[in-house]
Amino acid sequence: MKTFALPYGKTELTITLPEEHVLYDIHGNGGATIQNVQAATREALLHPLDSAPLSQLVHKGEKIALVVSDITRLVHTAEFLPEVVAELNQAGIPDQDMTIVIATGTHRAQTPAEDAVVCGADLARRIKIHQHDCRRQDELKYYGTTKYGTPVYLDTVVAQADKVIVTGGISLHPFAGFGGGRKAILPGVAGLDSINHNHLMALADQVGAGCEKTTETAILQGNRIAEDMEEACAMLNPDFLLNVVFTPEGALHEIVAGNWQTAFAKGCRDLLKLAGVHIKEQADVVIASAGGYLKDLNLYQAMKSHMNAIFAVKPGGIMIQTLECPDIKEPAVFTDWLVKSEPLQFEKEVRADFSIPAFVAFKSRQIINSLTVYLVTRPENFAFVKSSGQIPVASLEEAWELAQKQLLAQGKHDYKVTIMGHASATLPILEG
């Protein structure tokens, strides 16, 4: 017997399993971590990939747009952005010639307090901050239409800048392949029509076919959403990129900087080295955690655990998730969709009234409907969990007992179990 620990909120849950039935205990592949973010940022700015140093790209008198992730993507911006600004200052660009653009995508504008959290209190006082609004057509510039038919409208503050610097974090993404890079532009500072047309391609062309199979985690080539984002970004052609890469456990591993295409590509490759875990077979049961707080604050964020863990379990198998979810119903724009149960009608409604939360709910429900999902969570969440098609349980031990009964009823005595303690940030890759 062997005991395994899985994050759950700010604590952890344990489960003791017969070791001979454990197929994999999936963690990240390990990697160096950055202790001094400021020093690493300066090094990246001075020695970028396929680009001159940032200080040589800008000139006195130019207007600079600094595109940063919003409050929903905490990527150490407040630690690295001051170094970027300092480098620009030394190159002759005063604070008043810079604008920080919050890449909200379809999200709401940030509050001043959130600006201080994201950018750091000092920069929030010193530099003008512009909140992108995808619904303000008068604040958008039309660039053209991509080969996939996406009309590209981008924020005029970014469009009118002499130089554009994009920042963000590279992460696994369930339909764009990877987050970061070009996503700072589309959806980050794009118009609503641009965002929706791009993201709608996550659904198959044929009604009733569900999700498009190539718009999936860690896929860039042949992924029409990723390719469309890149084409839209190329229309603007940002002058410099700085992105961060985290380990599956949440430690800062790397800062990539330079050309917005090749530096991003390097970050994606390096992230996959950390988070991509090759497996030879899928298990009958996967026991997974999103990684604890903040990743299991609500089900909208925690569903990333389901979307990666699905690759470790056999079709029709059993999934056990440990998600505390104190704010399980937030945001309502997601959870109102998640309770829809009839697949074809659900898909038709998403196509007719497309939004990112609606699609995420649809993809989540497709996963849930394809498996038996036991969700270890707070008792007050039970009613909503049932309405989402999952089976709520109060403890990991109870979930395992129910799973064992199910395996026995199916005549599976030589079953296999895979553990994923940080499923939101690790990707099982089935060989072959």
Residues 183-215 have pLDDT tens digits of 999 999 999 999 999 999 999 999 999 999 999
Tokens representing 150 are 């996406």
C-alpha angle 152/156/161, rounded to 5°? 115
β-strands 276-279, 98-103: how paired? unpaired
Which residues, 6+ apart, have CB-to-CB distance to 250 below 8 Å? 291, 425
Peptide bond into 371 cis (omega under 30): no
User: What are the chain's domains?
Assistant: 2-28+277-430 (3.90.226.30), 37-246 (3.40.50.11440)
Question: Shortest CA distance to 254 belongs to which of 24, 32, 13?
Answer: 32
Alpha-carbon distance of 188 to 423, in angstroms, equals: 25
pLDDT in tens, 122-139: 999 999 999 999 999 999
Q: With CA atoms as reference, report the closest residue to 365 among 380, 351, 344, 395.
A: 344
Q: How confident is the model at residue 72 (pLDDT cuts 50, 70, 90)?
A: confident
Per-residue model confidence as pLDDT tens digits over 304-349: 999 999 999 999 999 999 999 999 999 999 999 999 989 999 999 9
Residue 356 binned pLDDT confidence (cut-offs 50, 70, 90): confident
Cβ–Cβ < 8 Å for 206, 348: no
